[in-house]
């Protein structure tokens, strides 16, 4: 956990306070020297995560097959060695949501350098694409947009298990989409915008889900200056948003919100 | 949405009722005839999801590049054609959480057959591994385990953005883990069990997160007879759990729970 400065905004007040933000780190799992996957995770119990992941994916059956587990926590790397030196089937590591290229590419080409260095190399690359929008939004408009967003997604709440995402211009919800996956809901919004020629610049992205580094990168790619969620951000999401000149708002519930970066856009 | 029969259990009552459960379907995205990814998603706005996914991953820049989008909703396939016929870089589809092999393998080798057929082929294969445990649990013990689980994970709730998972024998929590990802939390529990020689048979898996088909498959792999969550299940999770002889419990909050399959294990 990291203690970060946050601006707490309500209809009547605006003040700086400290907030505990959860850590998010990449962990790359190797099985017998073959790279299997990079997971974004909470950096604790990494050995258990690596072993449990390999069990869940069918690479590992029981403890007797294990020879060694070596963790380099600083670099975010874990090597699992088995006695039989099984080689994973190719198809098992091919499909499903791919990584974000910006964050994973460095890791794929060189696993010798430190995790932090990789992260910050990736961020350096992204800095060239910082958000340029100078647009400011009234806090009342953000509260109102979030209120509309939550009421609109009530429709689907009969089932309980759905995430929502929306694009707002500060007055109306221009696009709203729902999905069982928080990534999918955001992708559907941006897909709709592209198909309907709705500009995403100078707009607000609203989400019901956690704000992770991957969501921040999606939002940055569409040059959206503000991302607002009723859920929590991770530490990496906050750091990225600060570097990318993006305004990141978490815990937007009722008439309150926590602004983790670039609060000047909210007046 | 699907209306399924569910057994609502409280300390005083047990009755059958109907419950709306959210749909979960695989969607395989092709870019210029190259298979890119299979997403588990809510089966609506599939075109927007495909396009938004390709935009977020950097395969697609703007609408002008698009030539055609063909959706076969029944088969869960979408083909996106661009004018330039870009070929995705290999590294971009390689890393990150791979798919569950049981569900994805069929899709990888043959995309001509119907989605439902693939799903049920996969399920047929899994049926050979149905849960054999005959153990029954008292409802009071489940309420109590869930209560301990929620109180234990309070520790980390200062940050808001964390999932928890635990293994219980009906009396105590044997293992409890937290992570920003719901999959990671479950993998950490099973990894710990494997490393510490804790048998997962005849136990209860508790989770804070949504019960999707992938979570059910993880639980089945460790032969855990009961999965309990404070969140919702998806329709595919319920169907799989019924076929696998697993007891699936959702919305376990306070002194209530909804049992979606094999309620005979709860007495």
Between CA A253 and CA A258 the distance in angstroms is 10
Per-residue confidence (pLDDT) for residue B117, from 0 to 100 = 38
B234 to A161: CB separation less than 8 angstroms, yes or no: yes
Q: Which residue has the tokens 């069982």?
A: A180
Per-residue confidence (pLDDT) for residue A127, from 0 to 100 = 56
Residues 152-171 of A with CB under 8 A from B: 156, 158-162
pLDDT < 50 positions in chain A: 89-96, 98-121
B52 to A191: CB separation less than 8 angstroms, yes or no: yes
Main-chain dihedrals φ then ψ at residue B152, nearest 5 degrees: -65, -40
Beta-carbon contacts of residue A192 (< 8 Å; ≥ 6 apart): A175, A177, A198, B45, B48, B52
Per-residue confidence (pLDDT) for residue B153, from 0 to 100 = 76
Degrees to nearest 5, angle at CA A148 with A145 and A154? 140
- Catalytic residue numbers of B read 113
Per-residue confidence (pLDDT) for residue A126, from 0 to 100 = 58
Per-residue confidence (pLDDT) for residue A116, from 0 to 100 = 37
User: In this predicted model, which residue has the larger pLDDT, B78 or A122?
Assistant: B78
- Option in A55, A195, A232 nearest B51 (CB): A195
ipTM: 0.82
Between CA A238 and CA B159 the distance in angstroms is 13
Between CA B46 and CA B74 the distance in angstroms is 11
Mean pLDDT of B83-91: 60
Per-residue confidence (pLDDT) for residue B152, from 0 to 100 = 85
**Do residues A155 and B42 touch, judged by C-beta distance below 8 A?**
no
Q: Which residues in chain B have their CB less than 8 angstroms from residue A192's CB?
A: 45, 48, 52
Compute how many other C-beta atoms are within 10 angstroms of the C-beta atom of residue A205: 25
Per-residue confidence (pLDDT) for residue A152, from 0 to 100 = 85
- Option in A41, A97, A160 nearest B37 (CB): A97
Nearest CA among B165, B236, B255 for reference residue B207 = B165
- Bridge partners of A170, per DSSP, are none
pLDDT-derived band at B227, boundaries 50, 70, 90: very high
Q: How far is CA A156 from the centre of its chain?
A: 23
- What single string gives the DSSP state of each residue in chain A? -EEEEEEEE-SS-EEEEEEEEB--EEEEEEETTEEEEEEEE-SS-HHHHHHHHHHHTTS---GGGEEEEEEETTTTEEEEEESS-----GGGGTSSSPPPHHHHHHHHH--SS-HHHHHHHHHHHHHTT-------B-HHHHHHHHHHHHHHGGGGGGSS--EEEEEE-SSSEEEEEEESSHHHHHHHHHHHHHHTT---TT-EEEESS-B-HHHHHHHHHTT-SEEEESSPBBHHHHHHHHHTT-EEEEEEETTEEEEEE-GGGB-
Tell which of A95, A100, A153, A189 to mutate to test the B interface (max B CBs under 10 Å). Answer: A95
DSSP state of B79: E
Between CA A230 and CA B117 the distance in angstroms is 38
Compute how many other C-beta atoms are within 10 angstroms of the C-beta atom of residue A84: 9
Give the pLDDT confidence of B106-116 residue by residue, as tens digits: 343 222 333 33
Which residue does chain A place closest to B69, by CA atoms?
A195
Q: Which residues in chain B have their CB less than 8 angstroms from residue A36's CB?
A: 98
User: How far, CA to CA in Å, does B27 sit from each of A151, A181, B44, B173?
Assistant: 28, 13, 10, 37
Structure-block tokens of residue A11: 């209809």
Q: Which residue has the tokens 């970060």?
A: A4
User: How far, CA to CA in Å, does B213 sit from each of A180, A217, B15, B95, B104?
Assistant: 12, 28, 25, 21, 12
Per-residue confidence (pLDDT) for residue A58, from 0 to 100 = 86
Q: Is the pLDDT of residue B204 over 80?
A: yes
């Amino acid at each position: 956990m990291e203690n970060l400065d946050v601006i707490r905004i309500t209809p009547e007040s605006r003040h700086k306070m400290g907030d505990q933000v959860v850590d998010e780190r990449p962990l790359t799992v190797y099985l017998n020297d073959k790279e299997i996957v990079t997971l974004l995770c909470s950096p604790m119990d990494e050995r258990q995560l690596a072993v449990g992941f390999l069990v869940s994916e069918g690479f590992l059956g029981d403890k007797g097959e294990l020879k060694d587990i070596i963790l380099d926590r600083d670099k975010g790397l874990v090597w699992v060695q088995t006695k039989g030196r099984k080689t994973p089937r190719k198809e098992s590591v091919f499909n499903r949501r791919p990584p974000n290229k910006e964050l994973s590419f460095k890791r794929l080409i060189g696993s010798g350098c430190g995790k932090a260095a990789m992260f910050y190399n990736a961020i350096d690359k992204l800095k060239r694409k910082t958000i340029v929008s100078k647009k400011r939004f009234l806090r009342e408009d953000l509260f109102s947009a979030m209120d509309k967003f939550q009421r609109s997604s009530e429709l689907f709440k009969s089932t309980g298990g759905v995430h929502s995402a929306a694009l707002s211009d500060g007055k109306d919800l221009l696009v709203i989409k729902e999905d069982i996956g928080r990534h999918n809901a955001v992708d559907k919004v941006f897909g709709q915008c592209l198909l309907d020629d709705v500009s995403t610049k100078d707009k607000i992205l609203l989400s019901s889900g956690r704000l992770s580094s991957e969501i921040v990168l999606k939002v940055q790619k569409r040059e959206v200056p503000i991302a607002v969620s009723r859920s929590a951000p991770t530490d990496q999401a906050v750091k990225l948003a600060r570097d990318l000149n993006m305004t990141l708002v978490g815990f937007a519930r009722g008439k309150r919100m926590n602004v983790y970066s670039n609060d000047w856009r909210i007046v």
